[in-house]
């Protein structure tokens, strides 16, 4: 009570409120817990995580974005950290674990500053200055891309994943696929990864994977009487049904005479035959239909030696149009010779336990396909995730034309430069910049920890090498100590590092600025103002 008056309630009963230092501590603890959850997966010697969902489905991976996506996280601050991984995955395809680990370390170090009575807004300003400076410094370390560098970028992305044993093989496929679909527009390189169609099939080994200069359809021909292989294919892409048309409104046909019935059926057959004749007359010997094909039409196609596939996906139709140069037709009557796509061969092959259609030898293919194989479903899924990272970083490096040395070398170099930069900044922001500088060393330190090396000795060796001007030296996870990453051909796209630093610092700033958490839930991770884990 206040002055004998009743208290005024402005929030619903059961609402939880945490404010001040307690709110900041809880948010930082949640963010650090998420970072620690994925930290052991970082680097070539990183371990995998097995995730089992409520349905019992199992995912085995060391891909940071996948792990965080599969984890059932409740805490709102922890969810903000997951957003970093999503952003990193969308823009750079790789570096998700690094971004999350850097964000966790920034918050950990900012907590130490808050305890020294440095105000959160001062820390945020220091982090902003450091983040902007780091973006400038990254440009100084950039190396121009060559086709050989692209392959090494792919190998670096694949190292430490389940596909690491065949990284040369998959790296070669990644580079060839990206170069096949890349285009120059106004002297700017553009790579649309939607033009690379990836199909996965279990059975066989990873080395049975292949790049196809055309399109793979997870379909089979509609009639066993059709040819299995068609050479010098002329392909009609049709997105309407090759069936007898139904009326738009309800209609009833009354037949009172058997002759009328036979005439009616004969007319239907003639209509379907006329559609097939029309397709055949323009020279098409392969039909890819987005909708259904009537049984009778299938029979006439088989007699005419036409290879047909039905119910193809819209995305497959668009990819086929790009690969073969054919136009997608809505009305069969409008089909002309100019609308047909061309391919050297269309073939149905048995892959694993199902049939697939391979459309290959497209002369000016702007769309290609990759078939990934693996012994089990879990292996194929992890190979797919690794390949997505690999082809993604190659595309990013090819577009930007710049890469950086890996192994934590660039982050160690930026960390050293930021320390010098901090000395010229007055006020308490200097402490925040120094904390930011130290936080970047978490990546080389974690690489050393995951490889079973002494992290303290490794960081000392790394600082010594960089003080001698060896700015490309990073952590040697195989033999211990430090080594020249340029000579070891360990590269990553500059965009991956820049985005990781930017998104980590922005999220850290956002979490630091929160001093009041109001939750309408009566239960959950913030009940009683205590952080209660991640709800995994």
Average pLDDT of 316-335? 85
Which one of 3.50.7.10, 3.90.1010.10, 3.40.710.10, 3.40.50.300 gives the CATH number of domain 215-364?
3.50.7.10
Q: What is the pLDDT of residue 1?
A: 45
* Angle, alpha carbons 465-153-499 (nearest 5°): 80
**For a pLDDT cut of 70, what percent of the chain falls above it?**
89
Residues acting as catalytic residues: 63, 96-97, 389
User: Residues 153-175: pLDDT tens digits?
Assistant: 888 888 877 776 788 888 888 88
88: three-class secondary structure by DSSP: helix
Percent of the chain past pLDDT 90, that is, above it, reads: 4
Rounded Cα distance between 102 and 324, Å, is 46
The number of C-alpha atoms within 13 Å of 451 and in the hemisphere containing its C-beta is 22
Confidence of residue 102 (pLDDT cuts 50, 70, 90): very high
In angstroms, rounded to a whole number, what is the distance separating the alpha carbons of residues 189 and 63? Answer: 28
- pTM of the complete model: 0.76
> Which tops the pLDDT comparison, 447 or 194?
447
**The tokens of 235 are what?**
């392909």
Q: pLDDT for 399-421, tens place per residue?
A: 888 888 888 889 999 999 998 88
221 alpha-carbon distance from chain centroid: 32
Mean pLDDT over 511-517 rounds to 76
* Class in CATH terms, 16-143+404-526: mainly alpha
**Closest by alpha carbon to 101, among 510, 504, 512?**
504
Q: pLDDT band at 43, cuts 50/70/90?
A: confident
Quote the CA–CA distance of 517 and 76 in Å, as a whole number.
Answer: 9
| b (16+ CB within 10 A) / e for 394-403 | bbbbbbbebb
- The confidence score (pLDDT) of residue 534 equals 44
pLDDT band at residue 4 using 50, 70 and 90 as cut-offs? low
Which residues, including other chains, have CB under 8 Å from residue 54's CB and lie 6 or more apart?
none
- For the chain, the structural domain boundaries read 16-143+404-526, 215-364
Q: Inform me whether the pLDDT recorded for 526 exceeds 60.
A: no
39-53, 54-68, 133-147, 375-389 — which is least confidently predicted? 54-68
Residue 238 CA to residue 216 CA, distance in Å, equals: 17
Span 287-299, pLDDT tens digits = 898 888 888 888 8
As to burial, measured by CB atoms within 10 angstroms (0-12 exposed, 13-18 middle, 19+ buried), residue 472 is buried
Q: How much is the pLDDT for 34? A: 85
The reply to whether domains 16-143+404-526 and 215-364 share a CATH topology is no
Mean pLDDT for 447-469 is 89
Please give the full DSSP string across 210-226, using - where no structure is assigned. Answer: EEESSEEES---S-TTS
pLDDT surpassing 50 at residue 186: yes
- Cβ-Cβ contacts under 8 Å for 516 (sequence gap 6 or more): 17, 18, 19, 20, 23
pLDDT for the residue 19: 61
């Amino acid at each position: 009570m206040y002055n004998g008056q009743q208290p005024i309630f402005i929030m619903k009963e059961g609402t939880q409120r945490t404010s001040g230092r307690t709110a900041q501590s809880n948010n930082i603890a949640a963010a650090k817990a998420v970072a620690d959850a994925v930290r052991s997966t970082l680097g070539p010697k990183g371990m995998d995580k097995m995730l089992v969902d409520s349905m019992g489905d199992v995912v085995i991976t060391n891909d940071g974005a996948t792990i965080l996506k599969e984890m059932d996280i409740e805490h709102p601050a922890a969810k903000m950290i997951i957003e970093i991984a999503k952003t990193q995955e969308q823009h750079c395809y790789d570096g998700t674990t690094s971004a999350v680990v850097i964000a966790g370390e920034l918050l950990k170090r900012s907590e130490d500053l808050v305890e020294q009575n440095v105000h959160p807004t001062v820390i945020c300003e220091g982090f902003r200055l450091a983040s902007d400076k780091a973006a400038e410094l990254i440009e100084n370390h950039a190396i121009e891309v060559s086709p050989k560098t692209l392959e090494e970028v792919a190998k670096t992305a694949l190292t430490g994943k389940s596909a690491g044993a065949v990284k040369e093989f998959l790296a070669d496929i990644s580079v060839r696929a990206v170069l096949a679909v890349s285009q120059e527009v106004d002297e700017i390189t553009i790579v649309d990864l939607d033009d690379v169609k990836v199909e996965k099939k279990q059975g066989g080994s990873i080395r049975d994977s292949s790049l196809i200069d055309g399109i793979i359809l997870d379909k089979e021909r509609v009639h066993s009487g059709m040819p299995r292989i068609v050479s010098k294919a002329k392909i009609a892409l049709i997105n309407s049904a090759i069936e007898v048309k139904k009326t738009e409104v309800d209609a009833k046909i009354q037949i009172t005479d058997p002759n009328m019935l036979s005439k009616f059926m004969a007319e239907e057959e003639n209509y379907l035959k006329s559609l097939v004749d029309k397709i055949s007359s323009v020279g098409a010997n392969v039909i890819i239909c987005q909708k259904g094909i009537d049984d009778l039409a299938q029979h006439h196609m088989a007699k005419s030696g036409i290879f047909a596939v039905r119910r193809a996906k819209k995305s497959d139709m668009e990819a086929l149009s790009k690969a073969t140069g054919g136009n997608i037709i809505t009305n069969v009557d409008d089909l002309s010779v100019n609308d047909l796509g061309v391919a050297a061969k269309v073939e149905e092959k048995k892959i694993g336990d199902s049939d697939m259609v391979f459309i290959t030898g497209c002369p000016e293919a702007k769309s290609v396909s990759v078939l990934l194989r693996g012994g089990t479903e879990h292996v194929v899924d992890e190979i797919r995730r690794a390949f997505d990272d690999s082809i993604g970083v190659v595309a990013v490096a090819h577009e930007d034309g710049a890469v950086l040395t890996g192994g934590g070398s660039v982050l160690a170099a930026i960390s050293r430069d930021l320390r010098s930069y901090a000395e010229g900044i007055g006020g308490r922001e200097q402490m925040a910049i120094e904390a930011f500088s130290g936080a970047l060393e978490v990546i080389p330190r974690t690489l050393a920890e995951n490889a079973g090396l002494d992290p303290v000795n490794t960081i000392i060796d790394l600082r010594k090498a960089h003080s001698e001007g060896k700015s490309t030296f990073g952590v040697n996870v195989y033999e211990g100590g430090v080594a020249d990453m340029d000579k070891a051909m360990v590269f990553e796209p500059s965009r991956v590092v820049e985005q990781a630093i930017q998104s980590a610092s922005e999220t850290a700033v956002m979490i630091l600025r929160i001093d009041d958490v109001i939750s309408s839930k009566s239960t959950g991770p913030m009940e009683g103002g205590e952080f209660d884990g991640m709800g995994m």
